[in-house]
Amino acid sequence: MRFTPSILGKLVEPINRRGFQTVVDSHDGDAYDKSFKSWDHLMVLVYAQLGGADSLRSLEAGWNANCQHHYHLGTDRLRRSTLSDANRRRPVGLFAETFGLLAGQLDRQTRHEGTAMLRLIDSTPIPLGKACAWAKSNGRIRGMKMHVVYDPDSDCPRVLDITDANVNDAQIGRTITIEKGATYVFDKGYCHYGWWTAIATAKAFFVTRPKSNMGLKVERRRRIAQTQGDGFTILEDANVSLASK
């Protein structure tokens, strides 16, 4: 009988098993859970996400009900107690690094198709108030801050980081790996001239709002053919340089 891979099997084909094992070894990911390896863990997590499992019990039942596909996925039956232990003990970094490898493959495909790469950068506060005495304050809220680099084309975050509430947005922005040809869109909270220079040097682009005290020198003005857009108005189009830097 001819073998037909499952939908899950087709979805995980882009994951290079040898490359994944290299990531696992670098994080010592199988040190504590040798009977339920990192590959088993990854397959179960992907299945849980796609299947919308809302508990370990429902995940265990759904996964084991499709045991005929386990052999070709390179996995086995699941016990929820084993998964619970693995969730607690296995380094989350190995899954984050695997995500980065897959995102890199997507970027190569995106560039191959000639589609412009757009990256939206923003942050949002996570208020904790007095519930957590250890939480730091930024003068407005006490809590944490979530920083995201979002890829609207694939509808998923490329980078996600959580810091204390008093960490400056530009400080996190400067840690982002700049992709050649990408356009980064961010608010004026990410004002850092050195970072902007690094983006330009890497042959990438950025769109932002200037601060009110930013000195700009107009080098050349361009004629605007159409000032009205879909919900916005173009006030001016010009080449500028930083007058004070």
Overall fold of domain 116-209: Nucleotidyltransferase; domain 5 (3.30.420)
pLDDT attached to residue 114: 44
| Residue 245, both tokens | 């830097």
pLDDT attached to residue 39: 93
Contacts of 191 (CB under 8 A, 6+ apart): 170, 208, 210, 211, 214
Distance between CA atoms of 33 and 63, rounded to whole angstroms?
A: 19
Give residue limits of the domains in the chain.
Answer: 7-95, 116-209
- Residue 152 above 50 pLDDT? yes
- Residue 107 above 60 pLDDT? no
Average model confidence (pLDDT) across the chain: 85
Among 61-75, 112-126, 143-157, 159-173, name the one with the lowest average pLDDT.
112-126
pLDDT attached to residue 245: 54
| pLDDT per position as a tens digit, 199-241 | 999 999 999 988 888 888 889 998 888 888 888 888 888 888 8
- Residue 76 above 50 pLDDT? yes
Helix or strand run (H / E) with residue 200: helix 193-201
Beta strands in the chain (DSSP E): 118-127, 136-137, 142-151, 156-164, 183-185, 205-207, 216-221, 238-242
Which has the closest alpha carbon to 100: 39, 149, 66, 170?
149
- Residue 186 above 90 pLDDT? yes
Contacts of 217 (CB under 8 A, 6+ apart): 240, 241, 242, 243
pLDDT attached to residue 4: 63
pTM as predicted: 0.52
Distance between CA atoms of 228 and 60, rounded to whole angstroms?
A: 55
- Residue 121 above 90 pLDDT? yes
Distance between CA atoms of 213 and 216, rounded to whole angstroms?
A: 9
- Residue 133 above 50 pLDDT? yes
CA atoms within 13 A on the CB side of 17: 9
In this structure, what are the phi and psi dihedrals at residue 73, rounded to the nearest 5 degrees?
-85, -10
CB 141 within 8 A of CB 127: yes
- Residue 184 above 90 pLDDT? yes
Q: How many percent of the chain have pLDDT more than 90?
A: 24
CB 113 within 8 A of CB 106: no
Distance between CA atoms of 46 and 65, rounded to whole angstroms?
A: 16
Among 36-40, 93-97, 194-198, name the one with the lowest average pLDDT.
93-97
